[in-house]
Amino acid sequence: MAYNTKKIALIGILGALTVISLLFAVILPTTKLSLYALSSFLISIIIIEYKTPAGWIFYITTNLLAYIVIPDKLGVLPYTAFFGLYGIIKYYSEKVNNVIFEYFLKSLFFNICLLLVLFLAKQYFPSITDLKYPVWTVILILQFVFILYDYVYTMLINYYKTKLRKLLKV
C-alpha cells in the first residue's frame, strides 16, 4: 500500500510542477525555454520510475490539466507538440543502442516539429516569419541548440539517477 501512495504522491507532485512550470513559461517575460525544458525533464522521471505507459499517461494528464488551468492555450502548445513528447521520444530512441541511429531518430522528431512550426507560423502568423536572418541560418542554429538541449537533458537524467533518486528515496 505504501508503494502506491508514494507513487501517486510523486506523480501528483511532478504533475503539479509541470503545470506550474508551463504557467510560468506563459506568464513570465523571460526564461520561457528553460521552463519548457524543465517540464520536459519531469516526464523522464516518471518514465525512469514507472516505465513508459506511466509516461504516456503523465503526458496526457499534464496536457489536459495545463489546458484547463492555463488561460493562454497557445502557450501550452510547445509542451504538447515538442517538450512533453520529447522525454518519451528520447526514451524510445535511446533503447535502440546505436548512437548514430538514436541521434537520427531524435533529430528527425525535432526537425518534423520545427518544420511544422515554420509551416504553421507562415500560414497563420506571417509577420513572425519576417526574421532578421535567413530561415536556413535559423534552422542551422536550432540544430546546434537541439544537440545542446539533448546533451543537457542526458546530463540531468544521469544526475537524477545517481544523486537525486537516492535523496528522494524513490
Domain boundaries, the chain: 2-168
Write the DSSP assignment of the chain as a string of letters. -HHHHHHHHHHHHHHHHHHHHHHHHHHSSS-HHHHHHHHHHHHHHHHHHHHHHHHHHHHHHHHHHHHHH-S-GGGGHHIIIIIHHHHHHHHHHHTT--HHHHHHHHHHHHHHHHHHHHHHHHHH-TTTT--SS-HHHHHHHHHHHHHHHHHHHHHHHHHIIIIIHHHHT-
Instruction: Read off the pLDDT band of 42 (50, 70, 90).
Output: very high
pLDDT for position 138: 85
State residue 131 phi and psi, 5-degree precision: -90, 160
Give the chain's length. Answer: 170
More confident residue, 6 or 43: 43
Distance CA 87, CA 90 (A): 5
110-141: per-residue pLDDT in tens?
999 999 988 887 777 766 656 677 778 888 99
pLDDT for position 75: 92
Distance CA 114, CA 99 (A): 22
pTM for the predicted model, two decimal places: 0.88
State residue 125 phi and psi, 5-degree precision: -135, 70
89-109: per-residue pLDDT in tens?
999 999 998 999 999 999 999
- Residue 112 in grid coordinates: 518534423
For 2-168, give the CATH class: mainly alpha
pLDDT for position 136: 84
46-74: per-residue pLDDT in tens?
999 999 999 999 999 999 999 999 999 99
Average pLDDT over the chain, rounded to an integer = 90
